Chains A and B, each alone.
Chain A
């Protein structure tokens, strides 16, 4: 892969700190029926009918199954995660419904790291991660999420 093929290298120009070369290890997420039941109870969701998990599990599997905790990724990049990080935006594309009692492999990369002006913080760092969630080698969902946190002083 050369520099022009590297989505990280293309996306982070002008960022607060560089994400070039920052590797997030692959991980896995076991979506059990009992966890789906518990999550549904916790958010007053309809009961499961069949094997199909609550669609929020694409998001949960992406974050819970990535090889590092999102806080550790942010801290590793020198970002102020502990100063009040919030989720800003997300997009989830489903290739198929997620099912319970299934192991999902999660591959994560840094898509963009940008510093922007912020009404709340003065300046804020926007970290966008992209996750691919696969089962038995087939991609089931693609997640892109942006975490926003105050820029370090």
Chain B
């Protein structure tokens, strides 16, 4: 069983507008600090949830660059605000196919948990059964 780690020291406020446009998300808490504050999030904009999930996927992509993601199941537990630093950490199963991942703030508060399953395109022993059979 191995682990992976990925960090972003500062979540940029200016990126949130791009995500909102791509997502068709008109929730003002992502682009207007005053709107975020009025709804109790404090005076910083709130990172869109899919962006937080992308951080976990970045960690998986860096750890397994030849693989593609087959399934993601995620629970969003808290908010990441503009200017926060975040750390993604993941623990892989013995086959390197399933990663239990979480995203935490600098305080250690976990804001996102996910199980990410991948498929590795490599067919190590050429028998068509893929890397899983090679590692059993």
Secondary structure of the B contact surface, majority rule: mixed
Q: Answer whether residue B65 sits at the interface, using C-beta atoms and an 8 A cutoff.
A: yes
Closest to B72 in A: A92
Q: Is the CB of A42 within 8 A of B70?
A: no
CA gap between A44 and B52 in the complex, in Å: 11
Instruction: Give a binary string over A39-53; 1 marks a CB under 8 Å from any B CB, 0 the rest.
Output: 100111110010010
Closest to A90 in B: B74
Q: Answer whether residue A103 sits at the interface, using C-beta atoms and an 8 A cutoff.
A: no
Interface size of B by CB at 8 A reads: 37
Q: Within 8 Å CB of B92, what residues of A?
A: none
Contact size class for A? 35 or more
A residues neighboring B (CB under 8 Å):
35, 38-39, 42-46, 49, 52, 54-56, 59-60, 63-64, 66, 69-71, 81-94, 97
A-B contact pairs, 10 of them (CB 8 A): A39-B54, A45-B58, A54-B57, A55-B68, A59-B23, A70-B24, A86-B49, A88-B76, A91-B73, A92-B72
